[in-house]
Amino acid sequence: MIREPAEALDSLRKQVLAEHSGLTLTKLYNVRETILSGAPLSPAETDIRDRGLVLILNEHHEAIDTAVAAAYGLPADASEEAILESLVTLNRERTREEKRGEVRWLRPDYQRPRFGRDAATGEQIAAAELLAMPAPIVKPSFPTQPVERVATVLAILAASDVPLDAEAIALRFQQGLRIKPAVHGILVSLTRVGEVSTGDGGGSFARRLRATG
């Protein structure tokens, strides 16, 4: 369900970049952000929008957002509160499963032989793989769909050995400091429901460690 729009997005981006050597993913997504904000486009941005097929690119992203929401059992227009509640509930269910030795492997053929059944939880595996990956040449774009935003922030915190603030997380994405307020809002919401903790009054945040046994 998610694969089809994701492959369509990947194909479109490769096509556009191959046909227009002056365009980059950063330029495409900066224009997309301007469009989503409702701000008027400059002549240069209008040219990028047209040559880069940014409106079609955005349609693919919307299709992915809808598919991701559906995969989590949520409507495409779910409120941020409903998304947060759903993700927290799912996270707790997975934690209970992993304590019983039930791991939902994302890539069974790769993960089981490498880590073994009892080596680590699914969350630890994801964190280890994220830390082992080389830094991408182009920073990813911060998701537009609330469910993806919350899941992304949780994944980043889970992969970090130290607390992170909103700025450190925001700078991992193309939008940079423009998304800092949105990231901070997500961190505060996750703190309220007990999924993350802060030891400095809301400056930096870390995944809350749950008691075992």
The residues spanned by each domain of the chain are: 3-71, 80-207
Whole-number Å distance between alpha carbons of 146 and 156 = 15
Whole-number Å distance between alpha carbons of 9 and 56 = 9
Whole-number Å distance between alpha carbons of 194 and 191 = 5
Q: Look up residue 80 and give its two tokens.
A: 């941020």
Q: Look up residue 88 and give its two tokens.
A: 């927290």
CA atoms within 13 A on the CB side of 167: 2
Assess contact for 13 and 25: CB atoms under 8 A. Answer: yes
Whole-number Å distance between alpha carbons of 57 and 17 = 12
What does each of the 213 residues of the chain score in pLDDT, given as a tens digit?
788 888 888 999 999 999 998 999 999 999 999 998 899 999 999 999 999 999 999 999 888 888 888 888 888 788 878 888 888 888 888 778 777 777 666 666 655 555 544 445 554 555 555 555 554 457 888 888 788 888 888 888 888 888 899 999 999 888 888 899 999 989 988 888 888 888 888 888 888 655 444
Coil, strand or helix at 195: coil
